[in-house]
A and B are shown apart, each in its own frame.
Chain A
Amino acid sequence: MATEAAPMDEKAKRMRDLLSSFYTPDPSISTPTSSISTSFDNINGPSFDADQYMDLMIKKSNLDVLLQRHVQMAAEIKNLDTDLQMLVYENYNKFISATDTIKRMKSNIFGMEGNMDQLLHKIMSVQSRSDGVNTSLFEKREHIEKLHRTRNLLRKVQFIYDLPARLQKCIKSEAYGDAVRFYTGAMPILKVYGDTSFKDCRRASEEAIETIIKNLQTKLFSDSESIQARAEAAVLLKQLDVPVDSLKDKLLEKLEQSLDGLQINPDEASKLAEHNVSSKDEESNNQGPAKIHEDAVRGFSEAMRAYREIFPDSEERLFKLARALTTTHFENMELYIRKRVSAADFLGIFRIIWEDVVLMDEVLPEAALSDLSAEAAQVTLKQFVARTFSHLQQDISDTLLKFDINQKEVVDGEVLKVVLEASGKAVLQGTTDIFQEFRQLLDENTGIFVKMNDLLIGWIQKGFQDFFRSLESHFLVLSGKTSSSNETEGLVEGKSSEKIHAGLILVLAQLSVVIEQKVIPRIAEEITASFSGGNSQAFIPGELCRVFHAASEKLLQHYIDTRTQKISNVLRKRFKTPNWVKHKEPREVHMYVDMLLQQLEEVGKEVKQILPQGTFRKHKRSDSNGSNTTTSSRSTTLHSDKMARSNSQRARSQLFETHLAKLFKQKVEIFTKVEFTQESVVTTTVKLCLKSLQEYVRLQTFNRSGFQQIQLDIQFLKAPLKETVEDEAAIDFLLDEVIVAASERCLDVTPLEPPILDKLIQAKLAKSKEHNNNNNKTTVSS
């Protein structure tokens, strides 16, 4: 089928091509397909060469093919002929019909020309007539137009002449809106002719307008007018080309100035707060400064509201103003709390500020005043908490230092005790008070506080933690114990450390104990009771207790150190000055023993005021005070007997003896841990002093008399020391050690005879007794 269809198509196509080539005069513009397929063997192509084609055929094909070809070609030619005939016939038909049509057209057109000429003529006559009418009416029309113009002008002139009167009328009726409209309408004319024809008129109207402007301005500035009226006035003024911006600036400036009046003066703040509190109690008394302030702020916010509506473009400025007011409020607050302020007062001020903020926030919600003030309030509140704590610390340190000025009397009397009690109370009461104050803050339900409650709890806990920590370091600084990291501070301290009274250190030590045992647990209790919900755990009582425990031990040790240092100085002088190798025979108990005892007595007195008594005591020597001298003298004689014996032994083989003694003697613990009891502190001090004494002795070399002097002094010391000290064995041991050390460092160990020893001691006792009596007498007589 396809093979059949293809030649058919091809045939038709060729036909068309041929025909088209026939019509087109130029063969080059023949269809591209034919031109492409052009070749000499293409029978349809223009460059077909019959001879060549024949040659090719003959060469290529056999007879059968040629014959077939011949038949085919003959058929084709026949076809072409019939086609050609058909075409000629068709074209001829078309040509005949075309000539017919042309003939008909010619006959139709022939009669039209006359009609056309007629039409032209008529139109010409119509035109000439209308021209005539136009010319005849022209003059009249011109006149009418002129008259009309004049009338308009006259009306305008009339309006302008009437303007002042009209304006006046408007002023009378306060119809400023109309007046302004009239005036602005007349404005262009007045501008052009104002200098010539309408001079008076212009002046009059300008005057009127000026009054209008004035009126409008007063209206704008007057607070009594309604906001709408004022806004209208502002708009009218703007229309009158009055510089409104400057007006606005002026107004805002006024507003700004009024801010100063609104500020809470830190000096007056307390008054304000008081009144605020009191006005609560007595509602009738509303004329307190708080009320006034509130009214002022209310007015301010009203004004702001007005300006905001009047000058919509002034918002930014107003925001700024409101923010400025808020910040100054808080700044003043900060200034205020720099002084000592109670929580109630603080809250009073805070409430006022918050009210102000709320008022302003209503007017200007976009200014985000509440956010701003919340931030500021956080800062202020935090500062307040911090300041309260620092005030408390100041209080405590003041209480501690108050007495220190008159150091001389500290030892006598109960000064230390008083101070300890006072400062202990200060700490305990102070912390509880602070806590109560903070409770007040927490109970406050002003909007802002509710938000900050959690934060506040955190701050309070943190505040307590920091407070106790700083209190501890402050104690250490007060005691002169800390090596401050700050160099300048160190310098100051270094100077003052000499002056720090030992009693103060003891007070601080005991105070630390009080804080550790009473204050911190109490605060911890309160905190857990109040903020049970709070999840922030900034306050760690355990840690603080440890800190204060360490501090109290440190301070107690420091107290002992300072005391022993003093005694050590006495001893140093004692042992440095004489030439012990050339010492003279002992005549009496040396002076330094008195000083030593006096120092120890001071320690005893101080300790008795501050520290609690130990739980147990071996003997109560103080009961047998009256018969004291005899018993002691007896015991000393006994002792010196023993001493003499042992000394003579020592003279022979002392080193062996001491070593042996040490081996068998239970090793006496000299350096035991200090406890917070009177006895422990005194004992430790005495032990340290005796040890120092021993060390000083070891550094010297003695002749016989030197040794005897030491022996005498030690013998004398024995009784009073034992009286003051609980651990008699240790004292015995240490005193013996001093004697041993002296004998070791002695060139010729010959102890004093017990009777002489006893006699000298008795002499000394009598002398001191007499001295005491004399003292008493003088005090009594005076």
Chain B
Amino acid sequence: MQGGSSGIGYGLKYQARCISDVKADTDHTSFLTGTLSLKEENEVHLLRLSSGGSELVCEGLFSHPNEIWDLASCPFDQRIFSTVFSSGESFGAAIWQIPEPYGQSNSSTLDCVASLDAHVGKINCVLWCPSGKSDKLISMDEQNLVLWSLDSSKKIAEVVSKETAGMRHSLSGGAWNPHDVNSMAATSESSIQFWDLRTMKNVNSIERAHVRNVDYNTKREHILVTADDESGIHIWDLRKAKVPVQELPGHTHWTWAVRCNPEYEELILSVGTDSAVNLWFASASSENQASERSAEASRQRVNPLLNSYTDYEDSVYGLAWSSREPWIFASLSYDGRVVIESVKPFLPRR
């Protein structure tokens, strides 16, 4: 394995869990990442890949009041992003704006656009509507799902609707369907739930316990990828959601997160607590399921694992594909190391 020799590294000062692609920045390949430190002053780093692609430059360094558990960049404004943070005892979620002249890498303060303070318990994540220039947001805690409408110029976020999933379903995360802005998937203790955001009703669910992460395939409708603690990665076709279309072995320990490539539909990245990032090639789709049986023999021959990046010291939690250069991804291990890798050698030939 070539390990991390091709990767470009960047060290954060503290431990960190989340990294996000700055989708709205069309001129540069940029990532936002935030630290997770209980006692020190936390930071948000804006990283930019230099034009040659050989260096990762810190474009901005902003202090953040609390440790960051989740971070998501706004899809239409590169200066806006959301965080979920915790002060140890309490949780909060907020929308932030990077101040205008962010050229210097001095630590400067962030403008708080809005605070998403409709939650009581532990907040899991904030999702931005994936359809470009929509001002909708979803925030989730363990029981509730809140749909927000954001006016960034007036700095107001209003609750559009709020729904409780119920005490029994302890929600843990989710993904907004890029093919249908009115639906989203939420992972809970025992199942993956599909919500219709117009009615705020749980319309469908896949019984699957302990799903840790979920991602929609942006290229192919109805295809959903999930990561479990123990049993690896599953690819589902939502039209026949009883049995996964394909299974990938995942990681030696927990598979923490999965991300479908925004451009190459077969590529899937996963990160795990075994300090590795795995690149998968999942060609099996619902269309050629008929041939799956015949391909069963070849399944053993063709290893779906294209590459395993193992040059990490600690569990890897953060993962993001670059939407501008879809062969580039950023990974973030718990010890605060950001690694940018290119999957170009593994791209499928078209």
Contact B253 A671 (CB under 8 A): yes
A744 at interface, CB cutoff 8 A = yes
Contact B240 A487 (CB under 8 A): yes
Contact A483 B253 (CB under 8 A): no
Docked Cα-Cα span, A107 to B289, in Å, equals 130
Docked Cα-Cα span, A670 to B312, in Å, equals 13
Given contacts A701-B86, A747-B38, contact A485 B293 (CB under 8 A): yes
B135 at interface, CB cutoff 8 A = no
Contact B15 A671 (CB under 8 A): no
Q: How far is the CB of B288 from chain A (nearest CB, A)?
A: 11
Chain A 376-427 interface residues, beta-carbon cutoff 8 Å to B:
none
B14 at interface, CB cutoff 8 A = yes
Q: Select one of B229, B242, B246 contacting A487, CB under 8 A.
A: B242
Contact B253 A550 (CB under 8 A): no
Q: Select one of A565, A581, A659, A670 contacting B230, CB under 8 A.
A: A565
Stretch at the interface among A33-41, A71-79, A138-146, A687-695: A687-695
Interchain Cβ contacts within 8 Å, total number: 64
Main secondary structure of the interface of B (DSSP, over half): loop
Contact B88 A581 (CB under 8 A): yes
- Give the interface size bracket for B toward A: 20 to 34
Given contacts A565-B230, A568-B229, contact A671 B89 (CB under 8 A): no
User: Cβ of A599: which chain B residues have Cβ within 8 Å of it?
Assistant: none
A490 at interface, CB cutoff 8 A = yes
Given contacts A671-B252, A744-B38, contact A568 B230 (CB under 8 A): yes
Chain B 316-338 interface residues, beta-carbon cutoff 8 Å to A:
334-335
User: Cβ of A764: which chain B residues have Cβ within 8 Å of it?
Assistant: none
Contact B38 A692 (CB under 8 A): no
Docked Cα-Cα span, A323 to B296, in Å, equals 42
Main secondary structure of the interface of A (DSSP, over half): helix
Chain A 527-571 interface residues, beta-carbon cutoff 8 Å to B:
547, 550, 561, 564-565, 568
A84 at interface, CB cutoff 8 A = no
CB closest chain-B residue, reference A663: B313
Chain B 242-274 interface residues, beta-carbon cutoff 8 Å to A:
242-244, 246-247, 252-254, 273-274
Q: How far is the CB of B269 from chain A (nearest CB, A)?
A: 19
Contact B14 A655 (CB under 8 A): yes
User: Cβ of A692: which chain B residues have Cβ within 8 Å of it?
Assistant: 229, 253-254
Given contacts A485-B292, A568-B229, contact A688 B242 (CB under 8 A): no
B300 at interface, CB cutoff 8 A = yes
Contact B230 A701 (CB under 8 A): no
Contact A564 B38 (CB under 8 A): no
Q: How far is the CB of B248 from chain A (nearest CB, A)?
A: 10
Q: Select one of A484, A485, A487, A701 contacting B38, CB under 8 A.
A: A701
Contact A671 B242 (CB under 8 A): no
Contact A483 B246 (CB under 8 A): yes
CB closest chain-B residue, reference A695: B273
Given contacts A485-B296, A564-B230, contact A659 B253 (CB under 8 A): no
User: Cβ of B170: which chain A residues have Cβ within 8 Å of it?
Assistant: 576
14 CB-based A-B contacts, threshold 8 Å: A483-B244, A483-B247, A487-B242, A491-B242, A494-B242, A564-B230, A568-B230, A572-B210, A670-B274, A688-B253, A691-B274, A695-B273, A695-B315, A747-B88
Question: Which positions in A face B, CB cutoff 8 Å?
Answer: 483-485, 487, 490-491, 494, 547, 550, 561, 564-565, 568, 572, 576, 581, 655, 659, 662, 670-671, 688, 691-692, 695, 698, 701, 744-747
Known: A565-B229, A655-B15. 8 other contacts (CB 8 A): A483-B247, A576-B170, A581-B88, A659-B335, A701-B88, A744-B15, A745-B38, A746-B38
Q: Which 10 A-B pairs have the closest CB atoms?
A: A490-B243, A671-B252, A565-B230, A483-B247, A485-B293, A701-B88, A581-B89, A485-B292, A691-B253, A747-B88
